[in-house]
Chain A
Amino acid sequence: MGKMKVKTDRTNKINSRSWDDIVYTWITRIFLIIMVAVTLYPVYFVVVASFSSPMYVNNGTFLIFPKGFTLKGYTEVFRDERIWIGYGNTILYTVCGTIFGTAVTLLAGYALSRKDLPGRSVIMKLMVFTMYFSGGMIPFYLIVKGLGLLDTRFSMIILGSLSVYNIIVVRSFMASNIPDELFDAATIDGCGNGRFFMQIVVPLSKAVIAVIVLYIAVSKWNSYFNALLFLSDTDKYPLQVFLRQILLAGEAMLNDTETLLDQQAAAELRNMAMVVKYSVIVVATAPIICVYPFIQKYFVKGVMIGSVKG
C-alpha cells in the first residue's frame, strides 16, 4: 500500500518528496513516542511502587504520584548483609562468564559463517538439534557432578555462558556482513585465518559483539537456576538467589501446605513480600541497566563495510 503511494510520488517534484519525508518522520516520531510512553509508565510504576506503601500500589490508588512514602522495601532487601556477597559473586560470574561466552561464541560463529568450511551444515544441524532436545535436569546434574563441578565457582561461570542461539546470531550476522571476497583478498595478501579473524572480522563485527555481550551478560546476571541446583555453599550464591529467597518467601508459602500451620509466619512473610517485590527489581536490575549505554555506542550507523570498502 505504502509502496504504491511511493511509486506515484517518485515522479513528483522535489518539494513533494520532502513533504513525504516530513510525513514519514512524523509518523515514526509519533509511533516512537507512543511506544516510549507505553513502556515508560509501567517502568515508572515499578520504581515509584518500590518507594510506596504497598496498600496504595495494590489498590490502584496511585496513578502518577507516589503515595505513602516508605523505604521499608529497601531496608528489607539490604537487611541481610549477604546480599553484598551476592552482588560480588554475580559480578564475578557475569564478567568471567561473559568473556568466556563471548569468545567461544565468536570463534564458533565465525567458523560457521564461512561457506568454504566443509561440514559446516552438519555441525549447524547438530547444534540446532540441541536447542530442541535436552536430556533433562537429572542427567545434566549427574554430568556436572561427574566432572567434579558441584559447588564450584567455575561451574557458575561456565554453565549457561554458551548458547546455540547466540552462535546462530553471530554466524548469520557475519555471513551477511563479511563478504567472501574480503577473505579471498586477504589470503592473496598472505593473511591466514587467524590474522583475518583478529584484524578484520572482530573490528568489523563490533555491533554484533556488543549484542552478544549484552545477551550473555544479561542472562548470566539474571540466572539462578544453576546456582540453586549446584551450589550448597551460601558464600557462592549469586545475587538472584538471595533476592529470590526474599521474594519467594511470601509467595511460595501461600501454596506450601506445610507452612499453613504457621499462620503467623505466613502472614508476616506475605506482608514483607508485598513491600519487597518492587524494590527487589530495582536492586537487581539497576546495575545491569547501566551496561546498556556502553553497548549502544556500537550501534552507530556506517562503521562497517563502508569503511573497509573505501
Chain B
Amino acid sequence: MKKRIAALFLVLSMAAAMFAGCANTSVDETKGNTEAPAEQTKAPEDDQATDGTQETEAAGIPVDYFAGTELTIAVKKHNYDTGESWGDKPAMKAAEEATGIKINWIMIDSGQSERINAMLAGDMPDAFIGNMIKANTIAANMDLFYDLSEEGLLETYAPDALEDIKQLNGGLDLITWPDGSIRSLITNDECNYNNDAEGIMVINKAWLDKLGLGIPKTADEFYNVLCAFRDNDMDGDGDPTNEIPFNSTEKFWAGKIIQGANSWGIAGYNNSVKSHYFQLKDGKVTSTVDTDEFRAYLEFYHKLMDEGLLNMDCFSETNDQRSAKLLSGNVGVFWSWTPQDVGDLELAKDYVTLPPFQALEGVEPVKSGTRDKETFYNNGFVISAECENVEALLHWWNYLSSSTEMKYFVKFGEKGTSWDIDANGNVYLKRPDDITEDFTESNHHYTYGWSSYSPLILKEELPVVDTSDPYDSTAWRTLMVDEVYDMLPTDTFSTKKFVSPEAEDEKDFIEDELDAYLTNFVATSIVEGVTDDSWNAHLEQLKTVQYYEWLEWYQKYIDGTLE
C-alpha cells in the first residue's frame, strides 16, 4: 500500500519535474514556485532568508523553498572523522538554516560494507554520500536509484552542480549510463597534481655523496650504485652486511615492482599492476607483457635479486615490515609517496627523487601515472528511487555546490580555519590552530568537513600549493612530481566511464585469470629468472588466459564501442 502511494507520488513528481523542465527556458520565479511538488513545503514568499542568499537564485527557486522537508542520508564515516554525526559539521548547520531542509544522517563506519548491502536490499535511505555505492552496484541495480536524466530536473534544481559537471573533460558522459540514464552526481576534486605520478622511486643521496656517486641515469649505473650500497658500510654502524640496497614491497600500494618496467618503456596508467599490461599509443591499445623489453626488465630484476641487491621477501613483506626497515635507515632505494614514508623527517631529507633510468638504447624511460589523473568520484552522490522529494534533495545539494567558497566550506569546514582565500581569489590551505599530536590536519578536515566526499571541485578551483618550504609534505610531493612529470604517458583515457554489467562481467572474468597468471609469472621470473623455455611457455600461456581478448576489450572501452 505504502509502496503504491510512493509510486504514485513518484509519477506525479516526475511529471511535475518534467513540466518544470519543459518550461525551463522561460521559467520565472513564480512559475517555479507553483509547480514544485513538495507537499511539506511552507509558503516560501514571505521569508527573509530569500534575500540573504544569492547563489541558488539562478534557477529561480528561493533557497528555502523546500523548508520543512526531512530527508535521510547515509554517509560514510571516515576513520579520521572524530565527530558523532555529519549534522554537527558547520556547513551542514548552515545549510539547514538556509534551506530549512532537515537531514537525518545515518553514519556508516568503514567495515560496515555489509550494512550497505543490507540497506540496498530493503532499507533504503533517500541518498548515499561518500561513494559507498560502487559503479557495478549501480549497474546491476539501476532501478534502485533515481534517474536524474529526466529533462529539466538537474537544470531546475541543481543548476550549479550540473554546470560544474559540464566543465569536466567528458562532461555529462561521465555520469551517463549506456542506456542514457543518470544515477549519480560527481564528488571530490577533478584532479590532483600530486596523484598524477603514483609511486616515485627515491634514493639515499647521503649515501651517494659518501661514495662520490651521482644519481644513476642508466641501468648499469643503477646496478653499480646498488652494488656499492651492498658492499660498503653505508650507515656507518660497523656492519657492512645490514644495508638493503633496494627495498621493494608488493603490498605497499604505490610500490609495485612492475613499475620497474618504466625504465624499459612500459608504464601503467595508475599504480595497479594490471594497468601495466597494456599501453595506449596514439589511441591504440598495445600489448606489453609479451615484448622483449618486458623480458629484459624481468631479467634485470632477477639479477638484482640474485645478487642480493633487492630484498628477497619483497613479495610477502608487510607494510609494517616496510616501515620498520625504512625507519632503521638501512635502505638505499625504495618506492615512496614522499620520503616521509620513512617516518622520520631528518632521515627523510637524505632521500631524493630517482626518475626512471634508461635501460635500453633507444627506449625512452617512462613513468607510470596519468596527467591530470581523475580523482573525482562519479558515483559520489546517489539518490534512491524511493526518495519522495528528489527535488528538495537536489536543491540542497545545489546549495552546497553553489560556489567555490561554499564547496570549500563543505569540504574543510569554516573559512579561515584550515583554508582561506588569498588576494587573487585563490583558495589555499593553512594549518588549523587546534592541531595537536592526537588531532591531526586530516582529523580536522574530516571532522569539520567532508574532505574527499565533498561536492565536485574543478581544476581551477584547486588550492594553490606553497612550495616555499620544500619539506612541507604537500610541497615535497609536488616538487617530486615535477621531476618525473614529463615522463608520464601523454596518451590518456578516462577510466571512469560506466559500462554495462554484462561488459563488466566479461572483463572481470578474463582479468581475474589474467592477473592471477601474470602476477605469479612476474614474481616467479624475478625470483627464479627467465629462460627461453619459460618465456616461450609464457607467450603460449598468454593466449590461454585470453590476454589478447582482454586487450581488445580495452580497445573497445577506450573507443566507446563496448556492447
Residues of A within 8 A of B (CB): 54-59, 61, 79, 137-138, 141-142, 145, 225, 228-229, 232, 234, 241, 244-245, 248-249, 252-256, 258-265, 267-271, 274, 277
Contacts and interface: CB of A to CB of B under 8 A. Distances in A.
Given A263-B194, A265-B442, A138 B118 contact: yes
Given A228-B112, A261-B452, A255 B253 contact: yes
Interface string B187-215: 01100101100000000000000000000
Interface in B113-142: 114-115, 117-118, 121-123, 131
Interface in B443-466: 445-446, 451-452
A262 B473 CA distance: 11
The 5 tightest CB contacts between A and B, nearest first, are A58-B324, A265-B442, A141-B118, A249-B79, A138-B121
21 contacts: A56-B324, A57-B324, A58-B318, A58-B320, A137-B118, A142-B118, A228-B111, A228-B114, A245-B109, A245-B111, A248-B111, A252-B111, A253-B79, A259-B452, A263-B473, A264-B440, A264-B441, A269-B80, A270-B323, A271-B343, A274-B320
Contacts of A269: 79-80
Contacts of A79: 438
B121 A142 contact: yes
B111 A229 contact: no
A59 B194 contact: no
Nearest to A141: B118
A138 B117 CA distance: 8
Nearest to B122: A142
Contact of B477 (A234, A255, A262, A263): A263
Contacts of B320: 54, 57-58, 274, 277
Contacts of A268: 440, 442
Contacts of B109: 228, 241, 245
Contacts of B324: 54-59
B93 to A, nearest CB: 21
Contacts of B189: 261
A49 to B, nearest CB: 11
A245 B110 contact: yes
B441 A55 contact: no
Interface of B: 78-80, 84, 106-107, 109-112, 114-115, 117-118, 121-123, 131, 188-189, 192, 194-195, 251-254, 318-321, 323-325, 327-328, 337-338, 340-341, 343, 375, 377, 438, 440-442, 445-446, 451-452, 473-474, 477
A260 B253 contact: yes
B118 A229 contact: yes
Contact of B375 (A137, A252, A261, A264): A261
Contacts of A277: 320
Given A234-B84, A258-B131, A259-B452, A267 B111 contact: no
Contacts of A270: 319, 323
B106 A248 contact: no
B465 to A, nearest CB: 13
B228 to A, nearest CB: 23
B37 to A, nearest CB: 30
In this complex, the member of A56, A248, A260 whose beta carbon has the largest number of chain B beta carbons within 10 angstroms is: A260
B442 A59 contact: no
A248 B328 CA distance: 25
Contacts of B321: 58-59
Contacts of A141: 118, 121-122
Contacts of B327: 55
A305 to B, nearest CB: 47
Given A138-B117, A142-B122, A263-B337, A254 B319 contact: yes
A57 B118 CA distance: 40
Nearest to B442: A265
Among B80, B107, B117, B328, residue most surrounded by chain A Cβ atoms (within 10 Å)? B80
A234 B105 CA distance: 13
B110 A252 contact: yes
Contact of B325 (A59, A234, A248, A264): A59
A252 B122 CA distance: 27
Nearest to A249: B79
Contacts of A254: 251-253, 319
B69 to A, nearest CB: 22
A57 B78 CA distance: 29
Given A232-B106, A245-B111, A254-B252, 6 more contacts: A55-B324, A58-B318, A58-B321, A138-B118, A225-B114, A248-B110
B323 A271 contact: yes
Nearest to A275: B320
Given A55-B323, A229-B115, A252-B111, A267 B84 contact: no
Nearest to A233: B107
Contacts of B114: 137, 225, 228-229
Contacts of B446: 265
Contacts of A137: 114, 117-118
A57 B114 CA distance: 34
Contacts of B123: 145
Contacts of B106: 232
A56 B323 CA distance: 11
A245 B78 CA distance: 10
Contacts of A259: 78, 452
A141 B113 CA distance: 13
B442 A262 contact: yes
B111 A145 contact: no
Contacts of B451: 262
A214 to B, nearest CB: 27
B434 to A, nearest CB: 16
A161 B328 CA distance: 47
A137 B123 CA distance: 14
Contacts of A244: 111
Contacts of A248: 79, 110-111
B477 to A, nearest CB: 7
Most chain B CB within a 10 A radius of its CB, from A54, A58, A241, A271: A58
Contacts of B110: 245, 248-249, 252, 256
A148 to B, nearest CB: 13
Nearest to B321: A58
Which of A57, A261, A269, A277 has the most CB atoms of chain B within a 10 A radius of its CB? A261
A241 B77 CA distance: 14
Contacts of A54: 320, 323-324
A267 B341 contact: yes
A233 B4 CA distance: 31
A267 B321 CA distance: 14
Nearest to B473: A264
A245 B76 CA distance: 13
A74 to B, nearest CB: 14
B114 to A, nearest CB: 5
Nearest to B343: A271
Given A254-B319, A267-B341, A55 B328 contact: yes
A58 B328 CA distance: 10
A194 to B, nearest CB: 41
Nearest to B446: A265
A17 B162 CA distance: 92
A261 B375 CA distance: 8
**Interface-central residue, A142, A248, A254, A262, by most chain B CB under 10 Å:** A262
A67 B79 CA distance: 30
A59 B321 CA distance: 6
Nearest to B318: A58
B80 A265 contact: yes
A258 B377 contact: yes
Contacts of A261: 188-189, 192, 195, 375, 452
A254 B320 CA distance: 12
A119 B432 CA distance: 71
A79 B320 CA distance: 22
